[in-house]
Every structure is written in structure tokens, then in C-alpha cells.
Amino acid sequence: MGSTGAHVTAEEVPALLLAALPSLSQEWDEVADENADPGSPGGRLGYLDAAWVVGHLADRLAASDTSEFDAAFDFIEHLILHGDPYVSELGVIGYLEGMQMHTVTSRDLDPEAFRPWLRPLSAKHWEAINKFWDVGTPISNIRLD
């Protein structure tokens, strides 16, 4: 997707998440056990973790509390830009596409309300996801430059 240089691995994602969004630390203790899976990258069901975070962000958006959004979107951009292939894809599909789908299906929010916080690479992937849903062009076939 977009990884360059040193790679963030799946094992590092939870610590990066909690560093970016320390308000989730207490709730994480409950989710950590639910989404643990020794057979998955990093020992976690990363896409379920992402759905949990996206749900949290959608709830915050619905409550007009965007105080964590800069840190959250920096975190997502970091995963996409610096993640190994799994982590980079997790940033795009787990977080960004999750925002587009989760906010529409379960929160009745316009996912475009997240747009002001998208970082440069995230914004390109966001558009690629939109194009995929509009015309069926596979995300991997869309040029991001």
C-alpha cells in the first residue's frame, strides 16, 4: 500500500495505538483479551481491533468531540506509510475503509465528515476506496501519485 523505510509490525500496533490515544487504555484491557489470537499477525485480530477504534471515533464524531482526531489520524497515516505490508493494509482497509463502512452502516454518519483529519497518504487511499466503491477499480490498481 504505502510502506517505506523501517517497517512497523503487527506486534507494535497496540502500543502505537495506546500512545496515540491514551484515553483508550482502560477499555483496551477488555478488548485485548477478546481480540487475542496467537495464530494472527502480532497475536491479535487486528481488523477487529481497528473496528473497535473506528467505532470509538464514530461515537466521538457523533458527540462532536474531535479532540483525539489529530492523534488518531496521525496514527493511521503512520501505519500506512511505515507499516509492513500487513500493517499498511490494516491502516487502509481496517481503519479507512472501516470508517467509510462502519459510520454509514451503524452510526448513520456521513463518512466524509472525517475528511478534514485525513493526512496526505490517507486522503489518497480514501479516494481510492471511494473509486473502488463507485466504479469497481481495485484499490491496488489505483495510482496514488
pLDDT digits (tens, 9 = 90+) for 71-124: 999 999 999 999 999 999 999 999 999 999 987 778 889 999 999 999 999 999
Does residue 37 sit in helix, strand or coil? coil
In which region does residue 5 sit, left (phi positive, over 0), alpha (psi from -120 to 50) or beta (all else)? left
135 assigned to some structural domain: no
The structure's pTM equals 0.90
124 assigned to some structural domain: no
Cα separations in angstroms, 41 against 3, 24, 104, 137? 17, 21, 28, 28
3 assigned to some structural domain: no
107 assigned to some structural domain: yes
83 assigned to some structural domain: yes
pLDDT in tens, 51-81: 999 999 999 999 999 999 999 999 999 999 9
